[in-house]
Amino acid sequence: MSIIQKILNSRSEDDGNFFLFLKKILGFQPKDLHYYHKAFIHRSTNKKDDQGNPINYERLEFLGDAMLSAVISDYLFREVPSGDEGYLTKMRSKVVSREHLNELGRDFGLIAYLESKIPKKNFGDNVHGNMFEALVGAVFLDRGYTYCKKFIDKKVIKPYVDIQKLEGKIISYKSLLIEWSQKEKKAFNFQVYEDTGKDTIKHFAVKLSLDGKIIAKARATSKKKAEERAAKRAYFALQEKIKINS
Of residues 133, 142, 227, 228, which has the active-site annotation? 133
CA distance 15 to 213: 59
Of residues 65, 142, 227, 228, which has the active-site annotation? 65
Q: What residues contact residue 213 under an 8 Å CB cut-off, 6+ apart?
A: none
CA distance 9 to 146: 29
Active site residue 103: no
Active site residue 65: yes
Q: How many CB atoms neighbour CB 36 within 10 A?
A: 23
Helix locations, 191-245, DSSP H: 223-237, 239-245
- At 41 the three-state DSSP class reads strand
- Work out the burial of residue 9: count CB atoms within 10 Å of its CB; fewer than 13 is exposed, 13-18 middle, 19 or more buried: exposed
Whether residue 208 contacts residue 234, with contact meaning beta carbons closer than 8 Å, is answered with yes
- Work out the burial of residue 132: count CB atoms within 10 Å of its CB; fewer than 13 is exposed, 13-18 middle, 19 or more buried: buried
Whether residue 190 contacts residue 208, with contact meaning beta carbons closer than 8 Å, is answered with yes
Active site (catalytic) residues: 65, 133
